[in-house]
Amino acid sequence: MYITIVGGGQTGSKLAKRLADRGHNISIVEKDEKRAHELAAELDVLVIQGSGADVDVLKDAGIDKADVLVALTDADEVNLMACEIAKKQGVRRVIARVNDEKNTKMFEELGVDIAVSFVSAAVMLFEKVVTGAGVYGVLGIGGGKGEVVEVTVGANSKAVGRLVKDVKIPKECTLAMITRGDELIPARGDTTIQVGDLITVVGNPSAVLKVARYLRGG
């Protein structure tokens, strides 16, 4: 894939390196001239110095052939503008960093495919570290209206040994996927739930929490 990253900070540069190492073609747009030179020296990718809110700069970065644009600057207005330009240029997948959660709706209204709040992501990561195995958040969706959590099925859970179709799930959420060892198992009706299964639950936060507690047991 051809991927354009707007913002060459710590996140943007590390993402660029990982993607380039996996064989993707990468271009980075970085406004700061000194940082742009550093990136050009450090990474084997195309680096364009300029603003991600400038259509000509994005064209120099190859936006016309990009499969994905990722906007990762610390300025929501720049990320929003870069996404808008990308959409108009026909980029099929647009992803944005949202610095202020209050701006999430603007990104969604623009049609950004994925808007990631760094604050929410960090909170969920720390929640995972603090609570350890059990229930922890993975991702907020729908501008905070929904949530994705993972829960480890406990030995005392009443769900153990039951088929997915026999587990009473509120209509506001669903069981999406089961991780069992190294295996990923779609949570279909005839799938049997086992102790230690890591189940992904998606839906309304309150309903998700009820299901997660039930699956964990106690």
Identify the architecture of domain 2-117 in CATH. Answer: 3-Layer(aba) Sandwich (3.40)
Residue 102 has pLDDT above 90, yes or no: no
Bigger pLDDT: 133 vs 89: 89
- Rounded-to-integer distance, Cα 65 and Cα 68, Å: 9
Task: Look up residue 215 and give its two tokens.
Answer: 């699956």
- Write down the mean pLDDT value for the chain: 89
Predicted confidence band of residue 135 (pLDDT cuts 50, 70, 90): low
Predicted confidence band of residue 131 (pLDDT cuts 50, 70, 90): low
Bigger pLDDT: 94 vs 132: 94
Ordered strands of the 198-203 beta sheet: 135-141, 146-152, 198-203, 173-180, 183-186
Q: In which residue ranges of the chain is CATH 3.30.70.1450 found? A: 132-216
- pLDDT tens-digit readout, 28-78: 999 999 999 999 999 999 999 999 999 999 999 999 999 999 999 999 999
Q: In which residue ranges of the chain is CATH 3.40.50.720 found? A: 2-117
Using the structure block, give the residue that is written with the tokens 């330009």.
85
**What is the dotted CATH code of the domain comprising 132-216?**
3.30.70.1450
- pLDDT tens-digit readout, 172-191: 899 999 999 889 999 999 99
